Amino acid sequence: MASTVHSLKSFLAGAGRFALVRVAGTKGSTPRETGAWMLVSTLTTYGTIGGGQLEYMAIDKARQVLGKSGDAPTMLDVPLGPEIGQCCGGRVEVEIRLGDDGLASGLIREAEREEAMLPHFYIFGGGHVGKAIAAAVALLPVHAIVVETRASELEGIVSGVETMLTPMPEEAVRAAPAGSAFAILTHDHALDFLIVAEALKRRDAAYVGMIGSKTKKATFRSWFLKVADGTEEEFSHLVSPIGGEAVRDKRPAVIAALAAAEIMSALTLHEGAAQASCRKAANGLPARHG
């Protein structure tokens, strides 16, 4: 995705005086969770607390705060009902306070930390489908990398997605951080098989997907079990074809949309499982792996 650190720094550089608008508490159904925030200057905004009338009210109040002096935060208690034109039914407490250099530095540090912790998503193959998947995930909270053996196929990759040119793409699998996702769709089935085998051997991958037909998947299974010393348990983690079979549409953009949703679901589930494992370990309970 495009760097949030860069966009945040750009906003702060041109904002002048600004206010932080933060969701301090929620009850019932609300557009965003406690802790969600946005920044408001006299002319522009950065981020969102959920949109709609709630956000418009918060922006108006923040700009009133910008025109006054004083450091005390302003609080809004907003029912999300017909009276403001929203039907969420919940209630949101919003805190508004003036920004300063210390707050700006803290927000940048937090953005840098969050960006460094983004899950990695490796797209092996920069052909039509690879480029489409890269475009589909460019705005998502992932660190996407297109890995190719051919320099020409890295031309035209959407901005915000990293590219990697290497004669041995399987090495990128070995070097990937824990919890990474791998989508394999190169121009060569033998290369696909090699990369998928490496990915399946990693027990910490969030997602391993391969483009292709049922025949290709069956051929890979036979090779993986007989030649690559793979196991049925490892093979069971392979998703193929990527994007599922519910929608039978082979256009690259459609495959990309389905695959992006599938991969984000897998990354979210994997992150949740990892957090649960950490909580169990912290409480002295044995963590489950694999």
Half-sphere exposure at residue 129, Cβ-oriented, CA atoms within 13 angstroms? 23
Residue 42, domain member (yes or no): yes
Number of structural domains, the chain? 2
Q: Give pLDDT, residue 280.
A: 61
CA 207 to the chain's CA centroid: 13
Residues 141 and 268 grouped into a single domain: yes
Residues 153 and 82 grouped into a single domain: no
Q: Give pLDDT, residue 89.
A: 73
Residue 290, domain member (yes or no): no
Could you tell me the two tokens for 243? 């994007």
The candidate with the shortest Cα–Cα distance to 63, out of 102, 96, 103, is: 96
Residues 253 and 127 grouped into a single domain: yes
User: Tell me, what amino acid is at 254?
Assistant: V
E strand segments, the chain? 18-27, 37-41, 45-47, 74-79, 91-98, 120-124, 143-148, 162-165, 181-184, 207-210, 238-239
The candidate with the shortest Cα–Cα distance to 224, out of 168, 256, 184, is: 184
Positive or negative: CA dihedral 45, 49, 52, 56: negative
Residues 23 and 76 grouped into a single domain: yes
The set of residues, in sequence order, having a beta carbon less than 8 Å from that of 195 and lying 6+ positions away, is 124, 169, 170, 173, 182, 184, 186
Residues 243 and 178 grouped into a single domain: yes
CATH of the domain at 135: 3.40.50.720
Residue 154, domain member (yes or no): yes
Residues 10 and 82 grouped into a single domain: yes
Residues 103 and 122 grouped into a single domain: no
Residues 96 and 150 grouped into a single domain: no
Residues 226 and 273 grouped into a single domain: yes
Q: Which of 66, 85, 114 delimits the end of a domain? A: 114
Residues 78 and 143 grouped into a single domain: no
User: In angstroms, rounded to a whole number, what is the distance separating the alpha carbons of residues 239 and 183?
Assistant: 9
Residue 143, domain member (yes or no): yes
Express each pLDDT in 123-140 by its tens digit: 999 999 999 999 999 999
Residue 49, domain member (yes or no): yes
Q: Give pLDDT, residue 276.
A: 61
Q: Give pLDDT, residue 274.
A: 64
Q: Which of 91, 114, 137 delimits the end of a domain? A: 114
124 neighbors 169 (Cβ within 8 angstroms) = yes
Residue 55, domain member (yes or no): yes
Residues 176 and 222 grouped into a single domain: yes
Domain that includes residue 182, residue range? 118-279
Q: Give pLDDT, residue 278.
A: 53
Q: Which of 114, 130, 150 delimits the end of a domain? A: 114
Residue 237, domain member (yes or no): yes
User: Tell me, what amino acid is at 64?
Assistant: Q
Residues 150 and 182 grouped into a single domain: yes
Express each pLDDT in 157-216 by its tens digit: 999 999 999 999 999 999 999 999 999 999 999 999 999 999 999 999 999 999 999 999
Per-residue confidence in pLDDT tens, the chain, 290 aa:
778 899 999 999 999 999 999 999 999 988 899 999 999 999 999 999 998 889 999 999 999 999 887 778 999 998 887 777 666 778 999 999 999 999 999 999 999 999 999 999 999 999 999 999 999 999 999 999 999 999 999 999 999 999 999 999 999 999 999 999 999 999 999 999 999 999 999 999 999 999 999 999 999 999 999 999 999 999 999 999 999 888 888 899 999 999 999 999 999 998 877 666 555 655 655 554 44
User: In angstroms, rounded to a whole number, what is the distance separating the alpha carbons of residues 259 and 247?
Assistant: 11
